[in-house]
Structure 1
Amino acid sequence: MTSIASRSSSSGSTHHTASDTDDKGTEESIELPNDLIEFNWLPPEQDIDFQSFLDNMDLSMGHDDTLNSTEAFTGSISDLLADIPTDLEVISDFYLAEEGTGPEKDMSILRSDTNVTNQVAVGDTVPSPPVSINLDARSDMPEQAQALLRYYKTHIESAPTCIQSSRWKSPWKLLFLPCAFETFAELSLLGGTSHTRSAILCALLSHSAFQLHKSGSNSQSDYWHNLGVKHRDRAQKHLRSAVETEASDSEQTKYKELLMAFIAMAMISIYQGNRIARIFLLDAERLIRVRGLAEENPELIRVLHHVYTYLRVIAEGIYALDDGSNDSEQAEAFPQVPESGSFRISEDLLNMGLDPGVEKNSKVGYGDIHLQVQGRWKETLHSRIHGIPESLMTLLSQTISLANEKNRLETRARCDPKLAADLKHHIKTLEERIWTWSSSSEVSMILTGDVSFCTKGPNLVCHPRNQAMISAIHRALIIYFYRQVHDVSAMILQDVVRQALEHLESCISEMINSDDFALSLAWAAFICAREAISPDLQNRARHIISITDSRGVYFTSRPAMEVISSLWAKRQAVGGIDLGGSVQASDIPCSV
């Protein structure tokens, strides 16, 4: 098979269109119903340009992925995607259309048609595998595109009415779905579209197919899983080509769509395990740092930055706890990604960024994409998109970065009295901030701190179900801090585990089906279940984890229940001895 790079270069054009074919060239489908304020967050313009960014964005991070916003990238563009495994290539090759232009697309008819699904329940719109009839087959259209788009549209609009009435529109509905519809129209009317848009469309089709596979509402689970894999692989190949042929375009629209493609790929890669999802998140970070950290970004781009932050923080909060039992099966396909990423606190940042009362200026607010600094920022969107106050997300991010670097810092502190004192003070201060954090006070400050919350409608954080989710995440953070930072016995934390499970029980069934809440709920459930010891708490945790697994939401290399059950069994095998918060399940002896 001719490589993507060679075919792209042979076209002799800086703009390409792309379209999909299946193995037979046709598609079968069926019609369906104070110091930090001055910190330089932006990379120096003279040190980094976009071409150097392209020369280092490899989509697989086969080398050290420690990211420094002030470090210039080096490398060769020929090495961009060299580590992407061949077994993740698309099942059939895709067609590179000739360069061309087309008129502006009028989406009013398509949007009018798709609005019909608003009136239909999710269960009534589950598509069926293709039969002999071929209603909308086009050689350039992804398989079952129409059916999967309809299902996806219904899926993201199926959040409970009580939640919908008190929240801002989901980014997946605000940005991703319209882009998918426009891409579908371009393929239908013009026969091709950009690689970036094709990647977004195929990623959403893959996500939709995986949801059908997990739904259990039909008897064709294997078909939908295989189709999801097929669309995922196509999306990945289109993204490779987009990086090579389209990413250097300086237009803001191109930046937005490329970032959307990375985020969409990270989302569907959850079904492969956390290490793969992080590949796309790491490259998304590089893209943001090089092209996205301008102040006063348009709101839609800021929405994407918030979605990236949310995905990255949650992913990092699970990554170190995954037992990695399936890594040997993926070792050849994906080189090991260093555990640190950029989520490790540096010595010079100890005891900085820990004042929740400081007012963040726009430079810090826009540049702090990993939430390393506590404080108030009036432009934050976290509470409106994912229902989590930025202050809580910041505490979680700071705890994760501390836990990732704690062992190295403690080792160095043995020979450095100043570092030892700084580390001790940092841990103590962060602990106080976690304990004094209050959901009710934060919600009150959110609602009174910005008049736009009053003018743009009810805020999501006010909803009782969402407040239960916030409380569950806060309790899970307490558990995570004491296990990963202080390494206290899990027995001491059982009451906190119980509280977290109670909060999860009151909200998870209603909120798990939304892509905007599912990952944070799954993280809290995993942290609590991992430390449940008594049979009663384990039974309650098992029920909650079964809900997240059935939704297909886990960052671990195996379904979360398998990882948790293995940990419980090995803990029981050593007589219920506490295993330590930093011990992975695969490191635990099976017998005394």
Structure 2
Amino acid sequence: MSNGLGRAELGSHTRSFTGCSTCRSRHVKCDEGRPTCSMCTYFGLKCAGYKKDIFFDSKNPDSRIRFRRPLFTEEERIHMSEWLVSAAPPKSTHKLLAQIDEECENAAVSEEVEISYGPFGAFRAQPPQTVQVASPSPCDRPPPAEGSDTTTELSPPEDVIPMIDPFPAASGISAWSPGFMQSILGQPDGDPSSSSPDLLDMIMDQVPFDNHTIDPADCQLTSIISDSYCNPPISPPSLIHVPGGTGALPQDAVFLLKHYSSTVISLMTPVRHKKTPWHVLFIPHAKDCLAALALGEELNHASLCAFYGTLATSAFSLGGVSRSQSWLDQGHQYLRQAQEHARKMLMAAYNIPKPAKYKSTLMALLTMVQLSNFCGNRNEAEGYFLEAEKFIRLKGLKRKKSRKVRLLHHCYVFERMFHESIFLGGANSNQRRHIRRAIESSGLAPASVDGLSFRLYKYNNLHQEMLRVRGREEGENDLHLERPGTFSATLYPEIFGIPETWMILLSMIIRLGTEKDAAEQQNNPNELNLKDFIGRAKALEDYINHLERPSQIAPGLGTHQSSVDQHILENMLEAMRQALAIYFYRRIYDLDASMLQKKVADVRDCLLQCEYADSSVVHGSAGFIWPAFIAACEAEDPKVQESFSAWFEVSAQRSGLSSFAQTQASIEKVWEEKRSSNGSSTTWVDLMKRSVALQQ
């Protein structure tokens, strides 16, 4: 009886690259036993053995995914290993080295010297002129043509070891020649997902890099990397034109990816383990794109958007660190390319058949969100946030979510919450209304557990609701954390080091603030009455003020952290805890700033503690910059204000990103407004609403 699910719905079978031919043809797991596998023995089948074969899965001509099978048979691999061991015996190595030195010394200055001793071109001795082949084997040279002489006419000198290439290529390419390696690693029919990224990793490891300083004396780049590290490229960007390809490969791509993985990632998360979304998704995706471009392949707009957006972010960071206008010009070039690909991607994002994978499109949108935030362009970030929300609600909530998809959803929600807490006054913008109408008209709105606008979820007892255990569907499809409760499968602690409960509290403050704004504008027929509003605000205030201390939380979050990193994480959590309270009192009660100065000083002290713990840390994950902004806007003591200004200046210098300088400028504008108004009630909330209204 069929269950109604086809192969496409169940997913493709797992491919085995090294199993026997029988198991591969049956699509079952092979234990690779010799001479026959136990699976074939168990089912009474004849084991077809382990033959050499290269196979590229090209059933879908639009797919870049290919699978390469082993090149050599088991017998050939054993023979190759034995031959390599005997190729340059230890007793003869010194003689071969002496020969190399002698050839180099005797060669004329103008003469080009090519050494080809040994199996890999290092110690290959001069072979005899003719070699007798008695009984060819699969690993020996093919027999000579009929009528040719098969006897050895000249014997090699005693100090020279005759070498026979055990794997001659019928096409005339030696197994040890550069052309052979190029045919495996670089040909258009190769497998970039298996070989090219490994080659890129080796290249990236050779790129000199320091997280905080640029020393031109250390510039030693490989031939495929530009010398832009010492001499930053100017606009337009330098390109490598790929033979047979339709595009061009940015020369500085490898170096920019190195900087992104070494420095920029630390701005987005305080944790330092290698399982963050950037380590397992964004960086591998960028490497795949680079490999595909190097092989002359066509990429979809989603992949190109993510690729050039990553390069732009890294170039802007380098431009800020090195104070190089050339890097900034390079960043603007990549930014324009990323924006153009993003525009084309969004025009076809909902087409059938889909032009790009769900993860690729969402990664591209999140890359543009990060790029816009780092550039300090909140309006542009708002647009990409809304497009990401629409894409997730229409394409992501009804699907079964893999871990990688959930990682991307967590990244979106985390950044969206902090954006929503500051980007005030845009709740009823034309773009938001358009996005809501598009989601509602699609018929997929019921897949969302939360509402399409940031309105308050109705509950009776907040403490009981926060203890409620949320199921998988509610935990995964409550996109903007509308409903309180606990969800054991949350990934916020693993990615950002912050409990999900704290993110839910931030969401509830945002929603209660939205209710307050609606009541003030008298445009909400279902607004809360004063009694309900005060009751909810009081319950939320009690919960925020009784949050666990970071020392009780951090040990469970920082299992991958060193003692210094653990200390930094604890201070970040304490800064976040205090900033949540400051944000609540300013946004909901509009409390006088003089009553918040103790909490402001506590946030300042947490930032300084992190500085003392590790002065080389690049501050700037959202867990740091958000509490720094919230607290600094309320600071009244000139010395405390000076401390915040110094922190933002240092962070801007270390990260190289303009968002810190622009945030600092916004804070100083708040301070100036307060001074000029002689202590009036002007707050950052008022300024933000005014700024958003003017920009719209």
Give the TM-score of the pair, scaled to structure 1.
0.69
Q: Does residue 388 of the first structure (1) align with residue 477 of the second (2)?
A: no
Match for residue 542 of structure 2?
A: 432
Match for residue 366 of structure 1?
A: 476
Q: Is the 8 A contact 1:210 1:228 kept in 2?
A: yes
Q: Go from structure 1 to structure 2 and tell me whether the alpha carbon gap of 1:194 and 1:414 turns closer, same or farther (over 3 Å shift).
A: closer
Secondary structure in 1 aligned to 2:263?
helix
Match for residue 152 of structure 2?
A: none
Secondary structure in 2 aligned to 1:380?
coil
Match for residue 346 of structure 1?
A: 455
Match of 2:404 among 291, 300, 303: 300
Q: String of CA shifts for 1:119-150, please: whole Å, max 9, x gaps.
A: 84333575532389979455522363233223
Q: Go from structure 1 to structure 2 and tell me whether the alpha carbon gap of 1:532 and 1:347 turns closer, same or farther (over 3 Å shift).
A: closer
Q: Go from structure 1 to structure 2 and tell me whether the alpha carbon gap of 1:115 and 1:195 turns closer, same or farther (over 3 Å shift).
A: same
Task: Report how far residue 287 of structure 1 moved.
Answer: 1.0
Q: Work out the CA distance in 2 between the residues paired with 1:269 and 1:294.
A: 29
Aligned pairs for 1:116-515 within 5 A: 116-117=205-206, 120-122=209-211, 123=213, 126=229, 128-130=231-233, 136=240, 138=242, 140-142=248-250, 144-156=252-264, 164=272, 167-215=273-321, 217=322, 219-220=323-324, 222-245=325-348, 247-248=350-351, 254-270=357-373, 271-294=375-398, 297-320=401-424, 345-346=454-455, 349=458, 351=460, 355-409=465-519, 419-440=529-550, 443=553, 463-507=566-610, 510=614
Secondary structure in 2 aligned to 1:121?
coil
Q: Is the 8 A contact 1:471 1:500 kept in 2?
A: yes
Match for residue 77 of structure 2?
A: none
Task: Report how far residue 498 of structure 1 moved.
Answer: 0.3
Q: Is the 8 A contact 1:313 1:397 kept in 2?
A: yes
Q: Work out the CA distance in 2 between the residues paired with 1:314 and 1:513.
A: 22
Task: Report how far residue 116 of structure 1 moved.
Answer: 1.3
Task: Report how far residue 542 of structure 1 moved.
Answer: 1.2
Q: String of CA shifts for 1:433-462, please: whole Å, max 9, x gaps.
A: 111111348627956xxxxx97xx569998
Task: Report how far residue 257 of structure 1 moved.
Answer: 0.5
Task: Report how far residue 410 of structure 1 moved.
Answer: 5.6
Q: Is the 8 A contact 2:554 2:566 kept in 1?
A: no
Match for residue 199 of structure 2?
A: 110
Q: Is the 8 A contact 1:176 1:260 kept in 2?
A: yes
Partner AA of 2:405 in structure 1? I
Match of 2:670 among 546, 551, 567: 567
Match for residue 81 of structure 1?
A: none
Q: String of CA shifts for 1:49-90, please: whole Å, max 9, x gaps.
A: xxxxxxxxxxxxxxxxxxxxxxxxxxxxxxxxxxxxxxxxxx
Task: Report how far residue 497 of structure 1 moved.
Answer: 0.4
Greater shift, 287-296 or 249-258, is seen at: 249-258
Higher relative contact order (CA 8 A, sep 6+): 1
Q: Does residue 534 of the first structure (1) align with residue 640 of the second (2)?
A: no
Q: Work out the CA distance in 2 between the residues paired with 1:114 and 1:369.
A: 40
Q: Work out the CA distance in 2 between the residues paired with 1:264 and 1:480.
A: 27
Q: Work out the CA distance in 1 between the residues paired with 2:251 and 2:197.
A: 24
- Over the aligned positions, Cα root-mean-square deviation in angstroms equals 4.1
Q: Is the 8 A contact 1:159 1:511 kept in 2?
A: no
Partner AA of 1:565 in structure 2? E
Q: Is the 8 A contact 1:383 1:389 kept in 2?
A: yes
Q: Go from structure 1 to structure 2 and tell me whether the alpha carbon gap of 1:130 and 1:505 turns closer, same or farther (over 3 Å shift).
A: same
Aligned pairs for 1:58-73 within 5 A: none
Q: Is the 8 A contact 2:600 2:634 kept in 1?
A: yes
Q: Go from structure 1 to structure 2 and tell me whether the alpha carbon gap of 1:437 and 1:241 turns closer, same or farther (over 3 Å shift).
A: same
Q: Go from structure 1 to structure 2 and tell me whether the alpha carbon gap of 1:542 and 1:240 turns closer, same or farther (over 3 Å shift).
A: same
Partner AA of 2:600 in structure 1? V
Q: String of CA shifts for 1:461-508, please: whole Å, max 9, x gaps.
A: 981111100110111111111011100100110011001111122226
Q: Go from structure 1 to structure 2 and tell me whether the alpha carbon gap of 1:539 and 1:506 turns closer, same or farther (over 3 Å shift).
A: same
Q: Go from structure 1 to structure 2 and tell me whether the alpha carbon gap of 1:272 and 1:488 turns closer, same or farther (over 3 Å shift).
A: closer
Q: Is the 8 A contact 2:469 2:487 kept in 1?
A: yes
Q: Work out the CA distance in 1 between the residues paired with 2:501 and 2:656.
A: 28
Q: Is the 8 A contact 2:575 2:603 kept in 1?
A: yes
Partner AA of 2:291 in structure 1? A
Paired residue total: 467
Secondary structure in 2 aligned to 1:583?
helix
Q: Work out the CA distance in 2 between the residues paired with 1:194 and 1:156.
A: 25
Q: Is the 8 A contact 1:380 1:390 kept in 2?
A: yes
Q: Work out the CA distance in 2 between the residues paired with 1:396 and 1:154.
A: 30
Q: Go from structure 1 to structure 2 and tell me whether the alpha carbon gap of 1:485 and 1:417 turns closer, same or farther (over 3 Å shift).
A: closer
Secondary structure in 2 aligned to 1:575?
coil
Partner AA of 2:490 in structure 1? T
Q: Is the 8 A contact 2:209 2:259 kept in 1?
A: no
Q: String of CA shifts for 1:241-288, please: whole Å, max 9, x gaps.
A: 223346536679700000000000010012142111111111111111
Q: Go from structure 1 to structure 2 and tell me whether the alpha carbon gap of 1:338 and 1:572 turns closer, same or farther (over 3 Å shift).
A: farther
Q: Go from structure 1 to structure 2 and tell me whether the alpha carbon gap of 1:120 and 1:444 turns closer, same or farther (over 3 Å shift).
A: closer
Q: Is the 8 A contact 1:414 1:420 kept in 2?
A: no
Q: Is the 8 A contact 2:482 2:504 kept in 1?
A: yes
Q: Is the 8 A contact 1:344 1:405 kept in 2?
A: no
Q: Go from structure 1 to structure 2 and tell me whether the alpha carbon gap of 1:413 and 1:200 turns closer, same or farther (over 3 Å shift).
A: closer
Q: Is the 8 A contact 2:320 2:657 kept in 1?
A: no
Larger of the two Rg values belongs to structure: 2
Q: Go from structure 1 to structure 2 and tell me whether the alpha carbon gap of 1:279 and 1:117 turns closer, same or farther (over 3 Å shift).
A: farther
Q: Runs of 5+ in structure 2 lacking a partner?
A: 1-60, 65-187, 220-228, 437-450, 692-696
Identity among equivalent positions (%) equals 25
Q: Runs of 5+ in structure 1 lacking a partner?
A: 1-13, 18-100, 323-333, 448-452
Q: Work out the CA distance in 2 between the residues paired with 1:157 and 1:265.
A: 15
Match for residue 107 of structure 2?
A: none
Q: String of CA shifts for 1:332-360, please: whole Å, max 9, x gaps.
A: xx987689997854366365776221111
Partner AA of 2:590 in structure 1? D
Secondary structure in 2 aligned to 1:141?
strand
Q: Is the 8 A contact 1:359 1:375 kept in 2?
A: yes
Q: Work out the CA distance in 1 between the residues paired with 2:351 and 2:434.
A: 29
Q: Is the 8 A contact 1:384 1:459 kept in 2?
A: no
Q: Go from structure 1 to structure 2 and tell me whether the alpha carbon gap of 1:506 and 1:348 turns closer, same or farther (over 3 Å shift).
A: closer
Q: Go from structure 1 to structure 2 and tell me whether the alpha carbon gap of 1:395 and 1:157 turns closer, same or farther (over 3 Å shift).
A: closer
Q: Work out the CA distance in 2 between the residues paired with 1:242 and 1:373.
A: 33
Q: Work out the CA distance in 1 between the residues paired with 2:208 and 2:232.
A: 23
Q: Work out the CA distance in 2 between the residues paired with 1:311 and 1:511.
A: 26
Secondary structure in 1 aligned to 2:625?
helix
